[in-house]
Amino acid sequence: MRSYPRNSPEAVARIVALLLISDGHVSRSELDALHGLYMEQELSLPQGGFGKVLHGLCEDLWMGMHEQRVLTASIDGPTLILLFAEVTDPELRRKTLEFAYTAAMADSHLAPSEWWLMNAAGQYWQMGVMPSGIGHYELAQAA
């Protein structure tokens, strides 16, 4: 798995990209939702930069698949912690969860894998636990 500089736009985008693929597919509504939030501009990514990060993540996961047939199977706890650790700025953490939540809810369905990933990030970053029910979720400020 490639690494990105701490608090870089790519580090944030990769966590959002991981959420997008966590349920097995990326829907047009999810990408449109991120576009509507001007995610690339907010993160100072060049136009098409999110797509490049998403592609790079899929390449990295593909290389780590080995015998397993699930793309995200190579994301274990220690790897996930490394990805979360690349984002240390509280405001970037809040934005990461905002982008992730908006994308996850864009298809009107919060998959268990999407909930789990956002909850894991919130716990690691000490931002609270996401409610398990589908509905409005306000992101807690970092403690």
Residue-wise pLDDT tens digits, 56-101: 999 888 876 655 554 455 577 888 899 999 999 999 999 999 999 9
DSSP reduced 3-state for 78: helix
Domain ranges of the chain: 9-124
Tokens of 140: 């807690």
Tokens of 40: 């690339």
Residue-wise pLDDT tens digits, 91-133: 999 999 999 999 999 988 888 888 889 989 998 998 866 555 4
What SS3 string covers 79-137?
Answer: HHHHHHHCCCCHHHHHHHHHHHHHHHHCCCCCCHHHHHHHHHHHHHCCCCCCCCCCCCC
| Predicted TM-score of the model (pTM) | 0.83
Q: Cα-Cα-Cα-Cα dihedral of 120, 12, 97, 109, to 10°?
A: -90
